[in-house]
């Protein structure tokens, strides 16, 4: 066979680990293989010589969320949620090292949730954020727990209940991202920030992150149960079937 390229790429430059989502043909939509590879990347980040992480996407998207084409027809939902996407996002948030998101395009659903799980986010001019879950009869599990802490309840409701998309500048006004850069300058700017953080005494950075993040997991197990309930509804199945019909016709 031909060369197999990993669905998640990692590279080191000094104390900074760059993690790149690498399924550009589907805007880096998350499937089981990518989630497993991300778990490996977070493990790589625990290396003591890594002091900061930059997360970005290959191609023109950051992450289009869960790959609906990858969902099983009748998923064992609670098990699937607990053992696939959720632990990967929780492990990202729980990393002792600071993680900077460099959001380089579409960040829908799980893409916005990944952004929220990072410690600091920069966006490209081309970035777009949304919680699309409601449009297929679901809700963002991690997003509605972490969203109120990061962007406040009003903005979380606005996104989670409407499914609307916001651009990089709206995301900055909400506090979802700290800075907006041109598409070309995005990753260098994020790496420069990571290098600045990496140059600081690591224990001070680690303790600072841990204190700022304290208490942000409250309510998470309940949100998994709520999503399991929504998964079982006929509206969700109909919406996914309609999506697949459009995509594969």
43 or 249, greater pLDDT = 43
Task: Return the closest-CA partner of residue 89 out of 229, 230, 227, 236.
Answer: 227
Average pLDDT of the residues in 121-142: 93
Chain mean pLDDT for the chain? 90
Please identify which of the residues 125, 133, 195, 222 carries the catalytic annotation: 133
For the chain, what percent of residues have pLDDT higher than 90?
69
Instruction: Check pLDDT > 80 for residue 80.
Output: no
Instruction: Write down the pLDDT at residue 86.
Output: 80
The residue ranking higher by pLDDT, 142 or 73, is: 142
Q: For this structure, is 222 an active site residue?
A: no
133 part of the active site = yes
| Torsion angle, alpha carbons of 212, 217, 223, 225, to 10 | 170
Catalytic residue among 113, 170, 196, 235: 113
Helix and strand numbers, DSSP H then E, in the chain? 10, 10
pLDDT at 24 over 50: yes
181 has a pLDDT exceeding 80: yes
Pick from 98-107, 120-129, 215-224, 236-245: least confident: 215-224
Residue 124 has pLDDT above 90, yes or no: yes
pTM of the complete model = 0.91
Over residues 143-157, the mean pLDDT reads 95
């Amino acid at each position: 066979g031909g060369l197999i390229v990993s669905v998640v790429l990692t590279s080191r430059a000094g104390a900074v680990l760059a993690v790149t989502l690498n399924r550009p043909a589907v805007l880096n939509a998350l499937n089981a293989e990518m989630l497993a590879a991300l778990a490996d990347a977070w493990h790589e980040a625990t290396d003591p010589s890594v002091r900061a992480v930059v997360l970005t996407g290959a191609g023109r998207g950051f992450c289009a969320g869960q790959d609906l084409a990858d969902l099983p027809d009748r998923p064992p939902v609670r098990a699937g949620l607990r053992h696939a996407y959720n632990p990967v996002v929780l492990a990202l948030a729980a990393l002792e090292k600071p993680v900077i998101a460099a959001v380089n395009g579409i960040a829908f659903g799980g893409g916005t949730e990944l952004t929220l799980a990072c410690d600091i986010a920069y966006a490209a001019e081309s970035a777009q954020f949304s919680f699309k879950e409601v449009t297929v009869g679901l809700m963002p599990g991690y997003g509605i727990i972490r969203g109120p802490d990061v962007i406040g309840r009003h903005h979380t409701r606005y996104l989670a209940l409407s499914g609307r998309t916001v651009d990089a500048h709206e995301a900055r006004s909400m506090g979802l991202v700290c800075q907006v850069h041109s598409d070309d300058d995005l990753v260098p700017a994020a790496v420069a920030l990571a290098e600045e953080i990496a140059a600081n005494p690591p224990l001070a950075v680690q303790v600072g992150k841990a204190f700022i993040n304290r208490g942000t997991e409250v309510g998470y197990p309940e949100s998994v149960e709520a999503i399991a309930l929504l998964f079982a509804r006929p509206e969700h199945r109909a919406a996914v079937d309609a999506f697949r019909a459009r995509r594969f016709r």
